[in-house]
Structure 1
Amino acid sequence: MNLRTKLLMTATLLTTLAGCSSELPKPDLVEGGECVIHGEQAPIWACGGYMEADRYVGVGSAPLSKLGYDFSRKEAAINARADIAQQVEAQIKSKLDSYQRSTGADEMTAERVVTQVARQTSELTINNSQQVSYWQHPETEVIFILLGVEKATINNAIDSQIDQLDK
């Protein structure tokens, strides 16, 4: 399996995980940079597109479930981690493409690195992500969670795995 196929499969899996949640209200960005979700003013991060210089951040949401608040909060956190994972996947691809161009690494080596780096960074994303903010829609009770993980932690793990190729 070549590198492009493996990256495509990984991206498809991450997209599938992110898309497995129920249909949720679509936020609308209004003039002035405000965020409105189903007629309610919401934190700007809840509308998506929010970024921080030192952290990968992801937004997840979930409707309040009959299984309770804790279940819904965990579902929203899973969706936020999937959002972060998509950003990290793009970073892995970018760094690996750069490595391949500079070294002429073969496809088998690249596939091995993608697998190792994806596994390690997935674990780091899950274990090191922290809740940054929370908001619950007052009428629909949909829970929105903003999670973050330090970019330095993830980028160091990616760089370390790529550096191992040179040894």
Structure 2
Amino acid sequence: MPSIRPLAGGHDDPHIARMRHSSLDRRRFLAATGTGLLASTLLACGSREAEAAEHFAVTKTDAQWRAQLGPAAFEVLRQEGTERPYSSALNGEHRAGTFACKGCAQPLFSSKTKFESGTGWPSFYAPLPRAIGYRRDSTLGMVRTEVHCARCGGHLGHVFDDGPRPTGKRYCMNGVAMTFRPA
């Protein structure tokens, strides 16, 4: 008859060892699932903490915004979406002029501050005075600074600290959220 060696924990019964191992696997699974749910909840709550206190001169219902903007611009401006890189014609716009909010026509950026960032989105190193507002955005597991239109609150993109002189900023904007008016 084969001898049975004692298992870790001093038990000789292989059935008890399997149960202990199964119980450990269940605990690991539940811990991982709980951690994932907590992280999802925190990420979903992170980007709009200051919005309740903000008031904008231009306000509309979602139905009005949807009718005015169309699906792509509505998703970016009103639902904080992001267009695919290199999908906007404004990324290659190099004429003199002004980039404005597609939601309310607020002038946002001068073409003089536009630069090629290589990211696939129109990028600027400075906005026009009082044209934009900022919010803390902690979605996607990182803290970023969201940029929105100061007049209607429409989401435009994010600002980063890796831009050119003189500001060192890169305002990485969604082209679908803007229009261009040549000078």
TM-score w.r.t. the length of structure 1 is 0.28
Structure with the higher helix share, 1 or 2: 1
Q: Rg larger in 1 or in 2? A: 2
* Higher RCO structure (Cα 8 Å, ≥6 apart): 1
